[in-house]
C-alpha cells in the first residue's frame, strides 16, 4: 500500500537537514541505486540524513503511521537480496554520514555510519595507520562490521568487530546510546555479529594499527589445468606454514579476453618483497599467464578486487564454507561445473567463484561467547557470485547457485559424519555477511549465541523494528 501523500509531507516538514526523494523527484532513481540490480526496490520515500536527530524523527514517524511502514537502512547498499531497500516503504540512507577522523595519539579511527571502506583506508593512511576492514573498498563500513568482518589484516589483529571500541546507536524507540565494554556492554556484545537487528549505528570507533610500509600484493593467473596444484599449494601454506601476515583468495573467473574462467589467486603479505616472494615461492614457480604482484600502499589493497566487483547487473551471492584442506579434486570439479554454467550463457560472463584462505588463529583465540559472532572456527569462507542482466533468468540462475551451495554444505559436513570445528563443537556456524536472508542452505548463523541474542532483542528492540537481515525471533 502506498504511503499517503499527507504522511510523506508531514515527515518532510519534520526533517531539518536531510535530502528527501519520492517517486517523480529529481534524484529519486539514483537514490535507489544498489550494487546489484536485484537489490533495487521502489521505495515510497528515501531520506539521506546528516544528523542523528533526523534519523530519530524518521524512525518515530515510521512507527506512528496507522498502516505499518516497511523500514530499510542503507550503508553501502551491497545486499543482493534487497535488505537495504524497501518496496513502497521508508529507506534511511546513511551515505551522507561518511566522515572519518583519526586520533594519532591513541591510534583510533572514528567513522560515521554511512562511510565505505575506501573512506577509512585513505584517511587512515594519511596518519600511517590501517584498520581491519573488508577486501572490496566500496562496501559499507556498517554492514561489514555488524556482521563480523574478515579482512587482510584479520590474521594479525582479528575480525573487524574485535577491533571495535565503541558505537553510537539509535535504538528503535529513538533513544541514542553509546555501546562499549563500559557502557551498555550487553548491547555492545550483540552489535558484534548480529548488529543489524538492534539499531542504526551512526558512528564506529576502531582501533587502528601502524601501517607505514607497503605490502606485497597482486594477482597470479593460471590456466584451468593448474587448479588442483594451486589448491594444494594454498592448503599447504595455510596448514603447514601458517603466517598471520599472509592471506590469499582463489578466484575462478574469466578475465577480459580469456575464453574460459581462469584460476586467479590474489595474494597478500604484510612485509617486504623478499618475504612475500619467499612466502609465495611455489605459486610464483608454477607456470602462470599473468602476474600483477608489486609492493603497494595498504590503502590500495582493498581496491584490487574492484574491477571484478563493479556496480550494476543482477547478482546472486551464495556463501560456501569448507574446512581446510580443501579437496583439490573437489575444487577442480567445481571449476569445471562453473565453467560449463558460464559458457552456457554469455550473459554470465562476469560471474565468479571465490575461495578465501585466511589465517584464523587470531579469530579463533577469542572465545565464541565473547561476542555475538558465532563463526569462530577454522572454517574458511567462499562465495558463488553469479552476474547477469536478463531478469527472466533470475530463478534459473539462483537455483543453480543453491544446488552448488548444497554441494559445499555436504563437503563441510564431511563424508561419513558431521564435521566438527576447531573446538570440537558440532554444527559449524556460518558467516552472516556471506549468507542471503531466507537462505535455507545457510541456516546456522548465530549458533549457541542465539538464546542470549533473543533476550537482548526483547530488551533493545521489543517491537522488532529492525528485522531485515537474518532476523532474531522475539519468542
Do residue 426 and residue 316 come from a single domain? yes
Assign residue 288 the CATH number of its domain.
3.40.462.20
Look at residue 427 in the predicted model and tell me its pLDDT. 60
On whether both 105 and 187 belong to a single domain, the answer is yes
d(CA 467, CA 158): 27
Kindly report the CATH number assigned to the domain that includes residue 44: 3.30.43.10
User: Residue 346 class from Cβ within 10 Å (0-12 exposed, 13-18 middle, 19+ buried)?
Assistant: exposed
Q: What is the DSSP letter of 161?
A: G
* Residues 226, 114 share a domain: no
pLDDT score, position 348: 97
Give the count of alpha carbons within 13 A of 338, CB side only: 31
Between the CA atoms of 256, 257, 258 and 260, what dihedral angle is there, to the nearest 10 degrees?
80
Same domain, 109 and 136: yes
Domain count along the chain: 3
Same domain, 69 and 120: no
CB 409 within 8 A of CB 427: no
- Say whether both 190 and 225 belong to one domain: no
* Domain limit, last residue, from 46, 67, 93: 93
Does residue 278 lie in a domain region?
yes
Q: What is the C-alpha to C-alpha distance for residues 314 and 196, in angstroms, rounded to an integer? A: 24
CA distance 219 to 301: 11
> pLDDT at position 255, please?
92
Cell of 231: 589448491
Strand, helix or coil for residue 139: coil
- For 316, the enclosing helix (H) or strand (E) is strand 314-322
Rg (CA), the chain: 22
Does 454 fall in a domain?
Answer: no
Same domain, 255 and 387: yes
Task: Judge if 123 and 200 occupy the same domain.
Answer: yes
Instruction: Count the Cβ atoms, other than its own, within 10 Å of residue 232.
Output: 15
Q: How many CA atoms lie within 13 A of 28 on its CB side?
A: 13
155 and 194 in a common domain: yes
Question: What predicted TM-score, i.e. pTM, was given to this entire model?
Answer: 0.95
Range of the domain at 109: 100-211
pLDDT, one tens digit for every residue, the chain (475 residues): 689 999 999 999 999 999 999 999 999 999 999 999 999 999 999 999 999 999 999 999 999 998 889 999 999 999 998 999 999 999 999 999 999 999 999 999 999 999 999 999 999 999 999 999 989 999 999 999 999 999 999 999 999 999 999 999 999 999 999 999 999 999 999 999 999 999 999 999 999 999 999 999 999 999 999 999 999 999 999 999 999 999 999 999 999 889 999 999 999 999 999 999 999 999 999 999 999 999 999 999 999 999 889 999 999 999 888 889 999 999 999 999 999 999 999 999 999 999 999 999 999 999 999 999 999 988 899 999 999 999 999 999 999 999 998 888 887 666 433 444 444 444 667 888 988 776 656 668 899 999 999 999 999 999 999 999 899 989 8
Does residue 460 belong to any structural domain of this protein?
A: no
Unique residue bearing C-alpha cell 524497501: 86
| The last residue of a domain, from among 39, 66, 93 | 93
Question: Would residue 323 count as lying in a domain?
Answer: yes
In a domain? residue 153: yes
3-state secondary structure of 269: strand
- Residue 268 has what pLDDT? 98
Residues 257 and 352 in one domain: yes
Residue ending a domain, choose from 30, 58, 93 = 93
What is the CA 62 to chain-centroid distance, rounded? 27
Residue 301 covered by a domain: no
Query: Do 223 and 340 belong to one domain?
Result: yes
> Residue 58: enclosing H or E segment and its boundaries?
helix 52-64
Residue 382: helix, strand or coil by DSSP? strand
Distances (CA, A) of 26 to 5, 17, 23, 72, 326: 17, 18, 9, 21, 51
Asked if residue 471 is part of any domain, the answer here is no
Instruction: Determine, yes or no, domain membership for 137.
Output: yes
**At residue 320, what are phi and psi to the nearest 5 degrees?**
-125, 160
**Most distant CA atoms of the chain, gap in Å:** 68
Do β-strands 246-253 and 290-291 pair in parallel, antiparallel, or remain unpaired?
unpaired
> Where would I find the beta strands (DSSP E) of 174-237?
176-180, 200-207, 209-210, 215-222
pLDDT in tens, 281-298: 999 999 999 999 999 999
CATH number at residue 164: 3.30.465.10
409 and 288 belong to one structural domain: yes
CA-CA distance, 312 to 350, in Å (whole number)?
11
CA-to-CA dists, residue 80 to 37, 280, 378, angstroms: 8, 34, 27
Dihedral sign for Cα 320, 323, 325, 327, please: negative
pLDDT number for residue 441: 62
Residue 44's closest CA among 57, 31, 35? 31
Amino acid at each position: 500500500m502506498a504511503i499517503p501523500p499527507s504522511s510523506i509531507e508531514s515527515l518532510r516538514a519534520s526533517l531539518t537537514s536531510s535530502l528527501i526523494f519520492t517517486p517523480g523527484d529529481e534524484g529519486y532513481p539514483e537514490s535507489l541505486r544498489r550494487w546489484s540490480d536485484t537489490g533495487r526496490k521502489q521505495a515510497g520515500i528515501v531520506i539521506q540524513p546528516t544528523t542523528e536527530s533526523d534519523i530519530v524523527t524518521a524512525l518515530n514517524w515510521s512507527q506512528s503511521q496507522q498502516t505499518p511502514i516497511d523500514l530499510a537502512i542503507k550503508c553501502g547498499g551491497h545486499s543482493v537480496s534487497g535488505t537495504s531497500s524497501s518496496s513502497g516503504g521508508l529507506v534511511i540512507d546513511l551515505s551522507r554520514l561518511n566522515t572519518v577522523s583519526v586520533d594519532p595519539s591513541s591510534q583510533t579511527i572514528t567513522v560515521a555510519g554511512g562511510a565505505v571502506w575506501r573512506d577509512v583506508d585513505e584517511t587512515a593512511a594519511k596518519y600511517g595507520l590501517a584498520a581491519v576492514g573488508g577486501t572490496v573498498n566500496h562496501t559499507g563500513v556498517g554492514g561489514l562490521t555488524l556482521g563480523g568482518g574478515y579482512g587482510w589484516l584479520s590474521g594479525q589483529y582479528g575480525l573487524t568487530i574485535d577491533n571495535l571500541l565503541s558505537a553510537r546507536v539509535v535504538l528503535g524507540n529513538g533513544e541514542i546510546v553509546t555501546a562499549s565494554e563500559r557502557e551498555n556492554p550487553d548491547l555492545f556484545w550483540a552489535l558484534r555479529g548480529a548488529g543489524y537487528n538492534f539499531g542504526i549505528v551512526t558512528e564506529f570507533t576502531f582501533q587502528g594499527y601502524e601501517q607505514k610500509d607497503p605490502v606485497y600484493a597482486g594477482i597470479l593467473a593460471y590456466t584451468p589445468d593448474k587448479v588442483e596444484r594451486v589448491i594444494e599449494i594454498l592448503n599447504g601454506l595455510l596448514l603447514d606454514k601458517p603466517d598471520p601476515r599472509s592471506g590469499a583468495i582463489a578466484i575462478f573467473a574469466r578475465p577480459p579476453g580469456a575464453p574460459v574462467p581462469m584460476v586467479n589467486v590474489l595474494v597478500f603479505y604484510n612485509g617486504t618483497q623478499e618475504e612475500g616472494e619467499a612466502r609465495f615461492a611455489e605459486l610464483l614457480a608454477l607456470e602462470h599467464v599473468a602476474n600483477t604482484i608489486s609492493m603497494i600502499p595498504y590503502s590500495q589493497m582493498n581496491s584490487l578486487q574492484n574491477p571484478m566487483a563493479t556496480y550494476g547487473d543482477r547478482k546472486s551471492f551464495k556463501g560456501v564454507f569448507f574446512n581446510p584442506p580443501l579437496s583439490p579434486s573437489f575444487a577442480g570439479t567445481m571449476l569445471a561445473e562453473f565453467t560449463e554454467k558460464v559458457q552456457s550463457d554469455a550473459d554470465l560472463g562476469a560471474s565468479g567463484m571465490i575461495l578465501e584462505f585466511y589465517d584464523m588463529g587470531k579469530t579463533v583465540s577469542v572465545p565464541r561467547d565473547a561476542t555475538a559472532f558465532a563463526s569462530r572456527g577454522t572454517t574458511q569462507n567462499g562465495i558463488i557470485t553469479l552476474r547477469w542482466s536478463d531478469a527472466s533468468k533470475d530463478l534459473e540462475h539462483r537455483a543453480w547457485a543453491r544446488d552448488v551451495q548444497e554441494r559445499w554444505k555436504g563437503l563441510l559436513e564431511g563424508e561419513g559424519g558431521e564435521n566438527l570445528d576447531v573446538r570440537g563443537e558440532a554444527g559449524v556456524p556460518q558467516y552472516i555477511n556471506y549468507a542471503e536472508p531466507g537462505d535455507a542452505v545457510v541456516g546456522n548463523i548465530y549458533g549457541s549465541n542465539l538464546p542470549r541474542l533473543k533476550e537482548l532483542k526483547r530488551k533493545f528492540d521489543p517491537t522488532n523494528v529492525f528485522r531485515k537481515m537474518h532476523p532474531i525471533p522475539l519468542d
